[in-house]
Structure 1
Amino acid sequence: MRIFFVNRFFHPDESATSRILTDLVGGLRDNFNIQVVTSRHSYDNSSTRLPVCTVEDRLTVNRLWSSRFGRSKTALRAIDYLSFHAAVAWFLVRRVRPGDVVVLKTDPPLLQLINTALIRIRGGKVVNWLQDIYPEIAERAGVYRGPAWLARMICKWRDRTLRAAVTNVVISERMATYLQGRGIRNVRVIPNWADEQAISPVPREANDVRREWRLGDRFVVMYSGNLGRVHAFDEIREAMHLLSHRDDIAFVFVGGGAEQQGLKAFVESKGLRNTMFFPLQPRDRLRHSLAAADLHLVTLKAGMEDLVMPSKLYGVWAAGRPVAFVGEPDSAVARLIRESGTGLAFTHGDAAGLVQAIEALADEPASRAEQGRNARRLFEQRFTRAHCLGLWQDLIQGKFSAETVPGTT
């Protein structure tokens, strides 16, 4: 039995889906023959040339041609998606053999629409690994501009393919509940994770990134990760503005995404001097970059929690830092943060509450230290790489044990 993992990006790319897939492949390759199916590009659209195919012990990485217009315009991004869809379909129909397992991730979205039938015709078995749920995300984020009937048709088609899979792995209980409400019963929850060895708490005085970024003794409020359309930024903008008089508080944004330019424009229009922007940090710097913050910001727009989970939480908790979450007050994320004592949660529109919390934590190092310890404790209990990879091992061995012969091709 071979296991194919399909995702648009893979190591050495540093995007979130690439990192989590790279971790999983590293954990499984000792026991299974792994084939990664990915593109020749990186998330940041760099011109670095990646090899078409690399073969190591039990791991083959197949890099397919697809267009590379980038993310500047929705139509161009759609062409990139469609070209990768076509390349994947052509690859799988030629390579999949009876008994193979194909794990389809969700970058690009809806890989299962065409490929489920092709994989089953070839005698393979489908596992969907849903990091998010499309097309509903595009509709709720206001990105989808097409007719409602087409979205409904795609949803029904998507649902049929999910029911035809051996299983569908989702990353939160709310996502599982949403799919089950649509009649999809073959759902398994395995959360994303952070690497407990690579990310751990780092004291301020020992943090190289704080020195490099000249943060000094300021209280650092950080947003680290994708600045995407599913995330809320109005409250953050207002907090940055209301706290602009405090020279001892700095807002730091690490990463990129669709909302970055809007945030930069806001900072420039208001003349804010308390805000900094840095690019996505490579894996070997995450320990120090995440720990450079005293408080991390995590947000979700209303109506999004059924469809996506802010997995940046796991790295934050691994770094032993508290969280300020802006989202639905009764959401699972908000409840977990409150119940675990790892930070505070605020409803949409409560910028004043967010500002008050930032000022309180800036003035109370003992309180934020306690929340940081709680964060690391929660992480070690539920979201380590070792724990979550064990859940994947159990899933694969439980579903496919009859066909599993480690090392076979």
Structure 2
Amino acid sequence: MAERILLVNRFFGGAQTPTGRMLEDVARRLVEAGHHVEVLTSAAAYAGADGAAEVPVARVRTVWTPKQGRLGPWVAFLMQAALRIPFLPWDRCVLLTDPPMLLTAALGMRKRNRRLYWWTMDLYPEALASHGMLKEDGLAYRMLARLNTAALRRLDGVVTLGACQTERLDAYPTWSAVEAHVEVPPWDYRPLLRVERSANRLLNAQGWQDRRVVLYAGNIGEAHSFEEALGAARLLAADPASRWMFAFVVRGAQRDALEAAAADLPNVVVLDYLPPEQTADLLWSADVHLITMRPGWEGIVVPSKLYGVLMTDAPVLFIGPPEADTAREIRRLGRGTVLPADAPAEDVREAIEWLGATEASSGQRPDRTAPETIAAFVTA
């Protein structure tokens, strides 16, 4: 039977924002299954709002949010979503976590015969505590956690990004009241055609054809470290025979700190994001892909960058908590190696050189059924 399904997130569609991209994939699967899909999103963050990137898979309702800043768009969207969701026509509603605490919109709903789902991304207020903005024993944190505790009682199901994130949620006293949950890692199904090294526009533009590249591509926020990689870069820079270089193609809260720390390293380059049409060149430029996570962030964030790099042949080096969902996925697929956070520079250097000698495309690729899994879960 066809259901009326409402999807709620600040982003929808487009190639650059993982939550918007994945939500569009799920919307497509729901429409293909015969359901009536509406999306509530921000006019400032909707990929089709300016006509440059139409997303013709659902009816899209937009709300106004500021285009600049972080807190302003979060608060504006959360308040408008909480007011509008109860009065929109839907049988099943899926809430994501952009903005943070969007789950609390569930508190004002009278569900009647409607079913409500939460698709987690970053966990809040846990992220605020790991960031150091709140103390876990402080009043603000405890109040936000209690809002989550109350909202979980309202849910019919939860989609988490992995086992470690599920374990985080299991700490809430009302987690057991959730009828069902499913673990679905992030994904990236953008077309990523192989780019041969000789034709790679990034390698050619930067003069890197004779170099071996450790690539960190994506957000470099508070959850991510770079010190371990720079330690290895310093050792390799002292070796005149080394061809290794480290490319950070990044934006985020720690970019300035990264640039300052790497200023004296000749084998480290920090670049801004490339245009979307050069994504394949970027990811295929790597001999080793680098992903990092600071201790305490496991289960709170699950970096989506892993799933784009897995579409290439290069192995992955993850530096971070060994129990993090990213570390578990790399081990499960046999696509690289995991080092603990604060690993010594010599260990990182050895791991890079070992991975650089690893046979290309060894290990498994992730399956491509994630959107279907979520669509089936929220319509079961």
> Taking structure 2 as the reference length, what is the TM-score of the superposition?
0.87
Per mean C-alpha deviation after superposition, the further-off stretch among 214-223 and 323-332 is: 323-332
The residue that corresponds to 1:389 in the other structure is 371
The residue that corresponds to 1:344 in the other structure is 337
Separation in 1, partners of 2:293, 2:143: 27
Separation in 1, partners of 2:136, 2:44: 28
Alpha-carbon distance, 1:272 to partner? 2.1
The residue that corresponds to 1:150 in the other structure is 140
The residue that corresponds to 1:308 in the other structure is 301
Q: 1:26 to 1:58 in 2, by over 3 A?
A: closer
Q: 1:51 to 1:17 in 2, by over 3 A?
A: same
Q: 1:242 aligned to 235, 239, 261, which one? A: 235
AA at the equivalent of 2:81: V
Separation in 2, partners of 1:222, 1:56: 31
The residue that corresponds to 2:149 in the other structure is 159
Alpha-carbon distance, 1:88 to partner? 1.6
The residue that corresponds to 2:36 in the other structure is 33
- Corresponding position: 1:354 with 2:356: no
Separation in 2, partners of 1:356, 1:272: 19
Q: 1:266 aligned to 237, 261, 265, which one? A: 261
AA at the equivalent of 1:248: R
Kindly, what percent of the aligned residue pairs are identical?
Answer: 29
Q: 1:210 to 1:122 in 2, by over 3 A?
A: farther
| RMSD of aligned Cα (Å) | 2.8
AA at the equivalent of 2:340: T
Alpha-carbon distance, 1:213 to partner? 3.5
Q: 1:108 aligned to 94, 99, 109, which one? A: 99
Separation in 2, partners of 1:345, 1:69: 37
Per mean C-alpha deviation after superposition, the further-off stretch among 318-327 and 77-86 is: 77-86
In 2, are the aligned partners of 1:92 and 1:118 still within 8 Å (CA)? no
Separation in 2, partners of 1:295, 1:211: 18
Q: 2:365 aligned to 370, 378, 381, which one? A: 378
The residue that corresponds to 1:194 in the other structure is 188
Separation in 1, partners of 2:216, 2:309: 10
The secondary structure found in structure 2 opposite 1:297 is strand
The residue that corresponds to 2:61 in the other structure is 62
Separation in 1, partners of 2:147, 2:313: 42
In 2, are the aligned partners of 1:256 and 1:279 still within 8 Å (CA)? yes
Alpha-carbon distance, 1:206 to partner? 4.1
Q: 1:139 to 1:393 in 2, by over 3 A?
A: same
Separation in 2, partners of 1:339, 1:389: 20
Q: 1:322 to 1:152 in 2, by over 3 A?
A: same
Separation in 1, partners of 2:91, 2:66: 28
What is the count of residue pairs matched by the alignment? 369
Separation in 2, partners of 1:215, 1:143: 40
AA at the equivalent of 1:64: V
Alpha-carbon distance, 1:265 to partner? 1.6
The residue that corresponds to 1:229 in the other structure is 222
The secondary structure found in structure 2 opposite 1:63 is strand
In 1, are the aligned partners of 2:149 and 2:172 still within 8 Å (CA)? yes
Separation in 1, partners of 2:219, 2:68: 19
In 2, are the aligned partners of 1:37 and 1:61 still within 8 Å (CA)? yes
Separation in 2, partners of 1:164, 1:40: 28
Alpha-carbon distance, 1:346 to partner? 1.0
The secondary structure found in structure 2 opposite 1:143 is coil
Q: 1:235 to 1:58 in 2, by over 3 A?
A: closer
- Corresponding position: 1:117 with 2:107: yes
1:121-154 deviations in Å (ceiling 9; x for gaps): 5864321110121101110121337971221121
Alpha-carbon distance, 1:118 to partner? 3.3
AA at the equivalent of 1:181: A
The secondary structure found in structure 1 opposite 2:159 is strand
The secondary structure found in structure 2 opposite 1:243 is helix
Q: Which runs of 5+ in 1 are unaligned?
A: 71-76, 399-409
The secondary structure found in structure 1 opposite 2:294 is coil
The residue that corresponds to 1:403 in the other structure is none
In 1, are the aligned partners of 2:13 and 2:24 still within 8 Å (CA)? yes
AA at the equivalent of 1:38: T
Q: 1:80 aligned to 73, 83, 87, which one? A: 73
1:264-288 deviations in Å (ceiling 9; x for gaps): 12222xx222222333345543333
> Taking structure 1 as the reference length, what is the TM-score of the superposition?
0.81
Q: 1:254 to 1:28 in 2, by over 3 A?
A: farther
Alpha-carbon distance, 1:248 to partner? 1.7
In 1, are the aligned partners of 2:48 and 2:55 still within 8 Å (CA)? no
Separation in 2, partners of 1:248, 1:208: 19
The residue that corresponds to 1:17 in the other structure is 19
Q: 1:41 to 1:82 in 2, by over 3 A?
A: same
Return the structure number with greater helix share.
1
Separation in 2, partners of 1:339, 1:157: 35
Per mean C-alpha deviation after superposition, the further-off stretch among 28-37 and 218-227 is: 28-37
Q: 1:81 to 1:373 in 2, by over 3 A?
A: same
Alpha-carbon distance, 1:339 to partner? 5.3
Q: 1:348 to 1:117 in 2, by over 3 A?
A: closer
The secondary structure found in structure 1 opposite 2:110 is helix
AA at the equivalent of 2:7: F
